[in-house]
């Protein structure tokens, strides 16, 4: 019998006999017949190529090689138990790694609360956060690089499930000298002659299309003078006098100087959605989604 054919039961029998140093007591503890135990030990010794025990009519003793082997086998079983426990925890979502993608505004609205509650429930799960625009998040979700995506707008993909976790009223971002800055609310048409600062459509098509649609409903096509990759940068550019924008009201939390945030009339809002793979979501992803649903 080769070493690769050694069964765990042979090793367990060896541990018990190594503890008892008595075949009858070891057989009773293992609930096997004494001849069967003797046969298991002989097979194990044959596979190993050395004796584990010195046997006489009066006593059974471990050989020096047997003492060393017993120590290693004990550690082997400890590692097997740990491996089984780790596997059980991963299968149940108690441990593992969760990668969450998010748009910038999620960090100043819903994300901290969801992550805090999730970590209270699953303290042994490692949570990795990645700030990305909506399209890169959805692409990462499809490739399995992200477990959960928090995006602006509905992804429009049959393989990806989503639900709304936040609805942010839209506001006009204007510099202090702009006529709209002194109003309590403003129609998008008040921005018709201003250059717009926008996200690239390739990164956030839902946001881009929603803002352009608002402008068209108000009777004008926005002149896009500048593109930027974050709401914070868009607000900074507005403050620098580069143009105006329409953004979710949570952008005001960046506290950018020389920017006024004026509510739109009629009101409109931008939805923040949690997205996950419909058929292949991991256990930890499902637990995160459940936590988010409870907080909506």
**How far is the C-alpha of 30 from the C-alpha of 89, rounded, in Å?**
29
d(Cα 214, Cα 264) in Å, to the nearest integer?
10
In this prediction, residues 190-219 reach a mean pLDDT of 96
**5 band by pLDDT with thresholds 50, 70 and 90:** low
CATH number of the domain residue 209 falls in: 3.40.190.10
Is residue 11 pLDDT above 50, yes or no? Answer: yes
Structural domain count, the chain? 3
Same domain, 208 and 282: no
Q: How confident is the model at residue 89 (pLDDT cuts 50, 70, 90)?
A: low
Among 67, 92, 117, the domain-final residue is 92
Task: Give the pLDDT confidence of 23-80 residue by residue, as tens digits.
Answer: 999 999 999 999 999 999 999 998 899 999 998 878 899 999 999 999 999 888 888 8
Q: With 90 as the cut, is the pLDDT of residue 286 above it?
A: yes
What pLDDT, on a 0 to 100 scale, did the predictor assign at position 4? 59
User: Is residue 139 domain-shared with residue 285, that is, in the same domain?
Assistant: yes
Judge if 121 and 184 occupy the same domain.
Answer: no
Residues 120 and 256 in one domain: no
Q: Are 43 and 113 part of one and the same domain?
A: no
Q: Are residues 111 and 123 in the same domain?
A: yes
Domain boundary, last residue among 92, 112, 133 = 92
Tell me the pLDDT band of 8, cut-offs 50, 70 and 90.
Answer: confident
Decide: 254 and 231 in contact? Cβ < 8 Å: yes
- Ranges of beta strands (E only) in the chain are 53-55, 60-62, 96-102, 125-131, 148-152, 160-174, 195-198, 223-227, 245-248, 260-263, 269-277
Average pLDDT over residues 84-99: 74
Whether 224 and 254 map to the same domain: the answer is yes
Give yes or no: residues 189 and 152 share one domain.
no
Buried b (16+ CB within 10 A) or exposed e, 101-115: bbbbbbbbbbbeebb
- 54 phi and psi, to 5 degrees? -100, 125
The answer to whether residue 82 scores a pLDDT higher than 80 is no
In the predicted model, what is the mean pLDDT of residues 4-10?
76
pLDDT over 90 at 280, yes or no: no
Cβ pair 130, 100 in contact under 8 A:
yes
Domain boundary (44, 76, 92) is at 92
What does the pLDDT look like over 163-200, one tens digit per residue? 999 999 999 999 999 999 999 999 999 999 999 999 99
Residues 98-157: tens digit of each pLDDT? 999 999 999 999 999 999 999 999 999 999 999 999 999 999 999 999 999 999 988 878
CATH code of the domain in which 12 resides: 1.10.10.10
Least-confidence region, from 75-79, 188-192, 221-225, 275-279: 75-79
Domain that holds residue 192: 166-271
Same domain, 267 and 170: yes
Asked whether residue 133 falls in the same domain as residue 196, the answer is no
Worst-scoring range by mean pLDDT, 5-14, 97-106, 129-138, 271-280? 5-14
Residue 2 or 56, more confident: 56
**pTM score, whole prediction:** 0.70
Same-domain check for residues 153 and 284: yes
Which stretches of 49-174 are DSSP H helices?
Answer: 64-92, 111-121, 134-143
pLDDT at 1 over 50: no
d(CA 113, CA 202): 29
């Amino acid at each position: 019998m080769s070493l690769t054919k050694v069964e765990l039961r042979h090793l367990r029998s060896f541990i018990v006999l190594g503890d008892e140093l008595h075949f009858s007591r070891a057989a009773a503890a293992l609930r096997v017949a004494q001849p069967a135990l003797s046969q298991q030990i002989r097979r194990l010794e044959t596979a190993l190529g050395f004796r584990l025990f010195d046997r006489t009519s009066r006593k059974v003793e471990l050989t020096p090689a047997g003492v060393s082997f017993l120590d290693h086998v004990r550690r082997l079983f400890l590692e097997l138990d740990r491996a089984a426990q780790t596997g059980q925890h991963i299968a149940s979502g108690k441990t593992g790694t969760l990668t969450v993608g998010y748009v910038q505004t999620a960090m100043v609205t819903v994300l901290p609360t969801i992550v805090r509650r999730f970590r209270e429930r699953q303290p042994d799960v490692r949570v990795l956060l990645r700030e990305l625009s909506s399209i890169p998040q959805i692409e990462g979700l499809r490739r399995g690089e992200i477990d959960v995506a928090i995006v602006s707008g509905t992804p429009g993909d049959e393989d990806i499930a989503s639900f709304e976790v936040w609805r942010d009223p839209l506001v006009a971002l204007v510099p202090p000298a702009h006529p709209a800055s002194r109003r309590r609310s403003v129609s998008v048409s008040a921005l018709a002659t201003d250059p717009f600062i926008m996200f690239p459509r390739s990164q956030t098509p839902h946001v881009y299309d929603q803002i352009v649609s608002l402008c068209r409903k108000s009777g004008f096509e926005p002149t896009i003078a500048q593109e930027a990759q974050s709401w914070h940068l868009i607000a900074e550019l507005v403050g620098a006098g580069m143009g105006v924008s329409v953004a979710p009201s949570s952008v005001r939390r960046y506290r950018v100087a020389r920017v006024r945030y004026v509510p739109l009339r009629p009101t409109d809002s931008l939805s923040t959605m949690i997205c996950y793979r419909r058929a292949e979501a991991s256990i930890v992803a499902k637990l995160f989604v459940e936590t988010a649903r409870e907080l909506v």
